[in-house]
């Protein structure tokens, strides 16, 4: 997806973070260790890992410490974070092949790296601040706000002052809906269900399977499930790379389901 996108989509930071991520770096190293011919695999993996860490340094959001050192606020892991900035500045100081001067993004990264370290030293000396939440230094919040305003107008992405007023009103009203209570203002209904699939139209249970039949069906189902698992295992023999990919995909699906369940439980009625 990062390689096949429109001109406007190329400006999205999300696609860049997906490409230059620790996951991509680990995948490149894994392919290289399995014998796949990947040109400059180690160097590419190291570069992607550095870019991922650099993104983390400039996007810290929580003041509480966590197990990932690079995502902590700037100043809590100062030696490591300065080393990341130093490595990134060294790479950006080099000229790109075919260019006689540094490109604007290289100059911007160099300025940001120097400014962040200088800002931390200034705030620490004058105000006693121990760390900086770097996510508050970028303009992502403003860009996300403008993007939301344009999205509410469909194809009309240049609203007039009056249109902007109405769009802003809708945005504010719908912004904090997740804060609404998840429980309705009524007592829980504990009465019996109106529908009981075990009851026949005549009101008796004469057609309900007995316990022996249930056990027989359960045993047949277990045998069928084991047979299907054996057939699938014999038919799909995966190599290590495919097995790694399936494991990664399974973890992704589990994480999405867990987040979906959490959002459902915290949703409003």
As a whole-number percent, the residues of the chain with pLDDT over 70 amount to 73
Cα distance between residue 42 and residue 28, in whole Å? 8
pLDDT, tens digit (0-9, with 9 covering 90-100), for 76-128: 999 999 999 999 999 999 988 888 899 999 999 999 999 999 999 999 999 99
User: Mind giving me the DSSP string for 95-158?
Assistant: PPTT-SS--HHHHHHHHHHHHHHHHHHHHHHHH----B-GGGGSSHHHHHHHHHHHHTTTT--S
CA distances to 18, 85, 146, 168, 252 from 113, in Å: 22, 6, 27, 35, 33
**Sorting pLDDT into bands at 50, 70 and 90, what band is 247?**
confident
Shared domain for 255 and 228, answered yes or no, is yes
Shared domain for 40 and 86, answered yes or no, is yes
pLDDT, tens digit (0-9, with 9 covering 90-100), for 128-148: 999 999 988 877 778 778 878
Shared domain for 130 and 157, answered yes or no, is no
Contact call for residues 45 and 29 (beta carbons, < 8 A): yes
**Sorting pLDDT into bands at 50, 70 and 90, what band is 64?**
confident
CA distances to 9, 42, 109, 205, 263 from 99, in Å: 25, 25, 17, 84, 49
2 in any annotated domain: no
191 in any annotated domain: no
Cα distance between residue 191 and residue 35, in whole Å? 64
CA 32 to chain centre: 26
Shared domain for 171 and 268, answered yes or no, is no
Shared domain for 100 and 134, answered yes or no, is yes
Shared domain for 249 and 261, answered yes or no, is yes
Length of the chain, in residues: 269
268 in any annotated domain: yes
Cα distance between residue 247 and residue 238, in whole Å? 12
Cα distance between residue 33 and residue 9, in whole Å? 33
Shared domain for 111 and 169, answered yes or no, is no
pLDDT, tens digit (0-9, with 9 covering 90-100), for 156-192: 777 888 988 888 888 888 765 554 455 544 455 555 5
Contact call for residues 164 and 148 (beta carbons, < 8 A): no
189 in any annotated domain: no
207 in any annotated domain: no
Shared domain for 27 and 120, answered yes or no, is yes
194 in any annotated domain: no
Exposed, middle or buried, 85 (CB in 10 Å: 0-12/13-18/19+)? buried
Domain end: 177, 201, 227, which one?
A: 177
* Residue 56 lies in domain: 9-139
How many helices (H) and strands (E) would you count in the chain?
9, 0
1 in any annotated domain: no
200 in any annotated domain: no
- Phi, psi (deg, nearest 5) at residue 98: 90, 0
Shared domain for 24 and 125, answered yes or no, is yes
| Structural domain count of the chain | 3
Whole-prediction pTM: 0.62
> Over 70: is that where the pLDDT of 202 sits?
no
Shared domain for 42 and 134, answered yes or no, is yes
Cα distance between residue 269 and residue 266, in whole Å? 10
């Amino acid at each position: 997806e990062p390689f096949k996108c429109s001109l406007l989509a190329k400006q999205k930071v999300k696609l860049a973070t997906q490409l230059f991520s620790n996951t991509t770096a680990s995948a490149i190293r894994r392919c290289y260790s399995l014998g796949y011919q990947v040109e400059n695999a180690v160097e590419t993996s190291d570069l992607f890992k550095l870019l991922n860490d650099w993104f983390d340094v400039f996007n810290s959001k929580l003041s509480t410490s966590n197990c990932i050192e690079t995502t902590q606020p700037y100043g809590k892991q100062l030696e490591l974070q300065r080393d990341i900035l130093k490595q990134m500045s060294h790479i950006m100081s080099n000229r790109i092949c075919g260019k006689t001067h540094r490109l604007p993004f290289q100059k911007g990264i160099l300025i940001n790296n120097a400014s962040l370290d200088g800002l931390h030293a200034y705030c620490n000396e004058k105000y006693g601040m121990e760390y900086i939440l770097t996510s508050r230094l970028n303009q992502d919040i403003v860009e996300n706000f403008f993007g939301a305003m344009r999205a509410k107008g469909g194809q009309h992405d240049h609203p007039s002052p009056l249109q902007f007023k109405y769009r802003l009103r809708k945005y504010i009203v719908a912004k904090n809906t997740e804060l609404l209570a998840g429980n309705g203002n009524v007592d829980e209904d504990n009465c019996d269900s109106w529908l009981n699939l075990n009851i026949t139209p005549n009101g008796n249970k004469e057609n309900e399977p007995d316990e022996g039949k249930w056990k027989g069906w359960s045993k047949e189902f277990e045998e069928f499930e084991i047979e299907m698992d054996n057939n699938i295992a014999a038919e799909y023999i995966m190599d290590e790379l495919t097995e790694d990919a399936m494991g990664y995909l399974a973890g992704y699906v589990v994480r999405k389901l867990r987040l979906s369940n959490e959002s459902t439980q915290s949703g409003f009625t």
